[in-house]
Chain A
Amino acid sequence: KAGVTQTPRYLIKTRGQQVTLSCSPISGHRSVSWYQQTPGQGLQFLFEYFSETQRNKGNFPGRFSGRQFSNSRSEMNVSTLELGDSALYLCASSSFDRSTDTQYFGPGTRLTVL
């Protein structure tokens, strides 16, 4: 089975711009979660989608949004970028079958805001 894929892998933007990141989960997985990872804050949960519905949301401003498509692929969008948004954005998928309840991470998108 192919793993979780994320595109692009690296991105450089300037303050005020907006960005869209993409995540394709493992085939058959219906849950996709997004995380932001920075050296100071560690891994912070952004949101989770399951069957095209946002099931959970972390404590991030409304500039961070996401969606999930019928094929389970997910996108997250960050508008009006700030310097502090520079981070590694990780996507993780799971089948959310309680007996095999494991999240598998993609390689991440490294976003740099200048």
Chain B
Amino acid sequence: GQNIDQPTEMTATEGAIVQINCTYQTSGFNGLFWYQQHAGEAPTFLSYNVLDGLEEKGRFSSFLSRSKGYSYLLLKELQMKDSASYLCAVRGPYNQGGKLIFGQGTELSVKP
């Protein structure tokens, strides 16, 4: 089966660092994505990991451990505009169409 777990909500302070975890159990794996979605808007792409390790992109970093079925998104120097929902998604095997399965999303609130 396919299962992706993320915390439902998180709160952090402006200027701080926050780590959003994602664990997955899927029948196949072809990459893990993180998307940011502000209320009433479409998801926007943040990062893509297909190999183990850390990918850094400015204030955002994403880590993947395929053996543990685990990823996290790290947001540094938090800003108020980072308040949004963060979606973890796993791409399944290409011989099954490679469809994207999304977690429920983590609602992050950044407080002053």
Contact = CB atoms under 8 A, between A and B. Distances in A.
In the A-B complex, the 8 residue pairs with the smallest Cβ-Cβ separation, listed nearest first, are A56-B97, A43-B102, A105-B42, A42-B104, A56-B99, A105-B43, A55-B97, A107-B42
Interface in B83-108: 87, 89, 91, 94, 96-105
B99 A106 contact: no
A33 interface: yes
B41 A103 contact: no
The DSSP consensus for interface residues of chain A is: strand
A110 B45 CA distance: 20
B110 to A, nearest CB: 21
A45 interface: yes
A50 to B, nearest CB: 9
B48 A102 contact: yes
B30 to A, nearest CB: 7
Interface string A103-114: 111111000000
